[in-house]
Structures are given as C-alpha cells and as structure tokens.
Copies of this chain bind each other. A is one copy, B any other.
Amino acid sequence: MFTIGDFARLGRVSVRMLRHYDSIGLLRPAAVDPHTGYRFYRAEQLRRLNRVIALKDLGLTLGQVRAILDDTVEVAELRGMLRLRRSELAAQLAADTARLAGVEARLRMIETEGRMTSQDVVLKELPAVRVAELTGVARSYETPDISTVIQPLYPELFRRLGAAGVVPSGPGLAWYEATGEGESVVVHAGVTVAADSSAARDFGIVDLPAVPTAATIIHHGPMDEVAGSIQALATWIEAHGWRADGYTRELYLDYCADEPEKGVTELQLPVVAA
C-alpha cells in the first residue's frame, strides 16, 4: 500500500492528477481511510495507471480512456475511436506543418526586411455567391484599360437593377478573364444579389462557384494602385507553398467615388497546394 505521494512518484504522475482520476472514477484508490480521507494505492494498481498513461499519451480523452479500460466499448468501436484519432492526428500534423512554414516565412521576412509586413494574407473558404453583372472588354490587363471599361459599368448596372426592382444583398465585386484573343480581357462588374435567375433581364445573373481555399488580402486605396497588393499576394502564395488556381475576385468593401484613396477592397485568389 502506497500513499498518494509515493504512488505518484512511482507512476510519474502528479498527485493532483491521481486525485483527479479518483474524482472522475478513472482510477480509484484501493483504500481510503474513512477517518482522514487519505488515499492508499496498491502496487498492482500501477497496471491500470500505466494503461491510463499509455492511452492518454495517444491523445485520447480521459473519458475515452475510462470507457476503454472499463470494457464498455466493443472492439469495433475501439477500432473506430483509434481510426478517428489517427485522422485527427494526421490533420493536426498537416496543420502544424503549415503553421511551422508560416512561422519560418515570417522569420525570413524579418531577417530580410527588418520588420513584419502589415499586408496580411488570410486563407478563406469562399461560399458560392449569386451575382448580377454587366460585362465589357478591355484591351489589356493594364490598370488604365481596365479602369476605363469598368468605371461606367457600375452606374449602369445599378440603374438597371433599380429599374428591375432588384436590391443588392452585398458588396460589389469584379473579376477578369482573358478572351483568348491577344491581350484583351473580359471585365465582369457585378454585385451580389439574392434574386432568382429565371426572368429575362437586361443584366446577367451568374453564380460564382464556392472556392475551398482562397488567399485573400485587403487592398487600401485607389484601384489603380492595386498592383502592389497583387504582388504581395502572389509573393505570399509562393512563399507558403500554394499555387493560384483561377481568377482573382475584387470585393469592394468600401468605395466612394469622391475619395478613392479611402477605398477598401478585398482581393480573393483561389489557390491549391502547389
């Protein structure tokens, strides 16, 4: 018979934990002095303690450990628990590996720049979204070309939406795709709506697909300075082991024609693991 302190030393466990295991019924002392409340353990209880430790070290919860040790789980169930735990661990490993890569990218950034950027890229899942849009064609991806095409589209889009009695349900957004002919580009100027797409109208209704993983960055200031933010986004993507996989969406979170330098835009670029 060991006192709790001796038993804790033998089992390399804290006294606190032995008391805890007692209170949750995971490992009850062999005897308790009814007068003093002192707990006493038998050497053979080390077997159970060891089983507890071994299972706990696998990352199972104490509740699961108790269920296993008390034989209230079938073998099939036990196998299921272990399989689940295995996949959790695999996910954890992947996540931590990514975190580690992130930390190291940050450290490199500090070494080379002497500080950390305030341009922060965030990975997000993008839900599918229904958009009312007008399109145009720009001569190239050059900012001035795009601007001159897209600028007039929005007032016209809002005019037509108003005429059709459709109210935007969210912010405006834009995206671009190559026409395939030279450098020219199809410009989509849209706004999120909840309308259904059945009726014919003088604007397009398209459903942008959900994106499992998109790298996003907040661009501050006028859109003709967007190149820097795009650059930062691309650099981040490369440094973190991703690869662009689609068109960048621009989400106009805050925009006022009078003060373009106060604009706030989120750039969203679908990515996949490189």
Q: Report A's interface with B, CB cutoff 8 A.
A: 10, 12, 42-44, 46-47, 50-51, 53-55, 57-59, 68, 75, 78-79, 82-83, 85-86, 89-90, 92-93, 96-97, 99-100, 102-104, 106-107, 110, 114-116, 118, 120-125, 216-218, 220, 253-254, 262, 264, 266
Residues of B within 8 Å of A85, CB to CB, are 103
A71: shortest Cβ distance to chain B, in Å? 10
A–B complex contacts, Cβ < 8 Å, 19 sampled: A10-B253, A10-B266, A46-B218, A46-B264, A47-B120, A50-B121, A54-B120, A54-B121, A55-B120, A57-B99, A59-B103, A75-B114, A82-B110, A83-B107, A85-B103, A86-B103, A86-B104, A93-B100, A96-B96
Report yes or no: B47 in contact with A102, Cβ–Cβ below 8 A: no
Contacting pair B264 A44 (CB below 8 A): yes
Q: Which residue of B lies closest to A84 (CB)?
A: B103
State in angstroms the CA–CA spacing of A79 and B115 once bound together.
9
Contact partners of A44 in chain B: CB under 8 A:
220, 254, 262, 264
State A59–B95 Cα separation when bound (angstroms).
10
- A50-B216, A53-B120, A89-B99 given; 13 more Cβ-contact pairs under 8 Å: A12-B125, A44-B264, A47-B118, A55-B120, A57-B123, A58-B99, A79-B110, A82-B103, A82-B106, A82-B107, A86-B107, A92-B96, A93-B93
Interface of A, secondary structure class, is helix
Shortest Cβ distance from A117 into chain B, in angstroms? 9
How often does this chain occur in the complex, in copies? 2
Q: Measured between alpha carbons, how far is A43 from B55 in the docked complex, in Å?
A: 48
Q: Could you tell me the distance in whole angstroms from the C-beta of A274 to the nearest C-beta in chain B?
A: 19
CB distance from A176 to the nearest CB of B (A): 22
Complex interface: chain B residues within 8 A of A262 (CB): 44
A125 surroundings in chain B (CB, below 8 A) = 12
Q: Which residue on chain B has the smallest CB distance to residue A83?
A: B107
Cross-chain contact A46 with B100 (CB below 8 angstroms): no
Which residue of chain B is the closest to A51 with respect to CB atoms?
A: B120
Q: How far is the CA of A106 from the CA of B42 in the complex (A)?
A: 27
Contact, CB under 8 Å: A58 / B102 = yes
A171 to chain B, nearest CB (A): 8
Report the Cα distance A72→B7, complex, angstroms: 47
Contact A57 B218 (CB under 8 A): no
A90→B102 CA distance, assembly (Å) = 13
Sorted nearest first, the 9 A-B pairs with minimum C-beta distance are A43-B254, A43-B264, A43-B253, A54-B120, A89-B100, A51-B120, A50-B120, A47-B218, A50-B122
Residues of B within 8 A of A93 (CB): 93, 96-97, 100
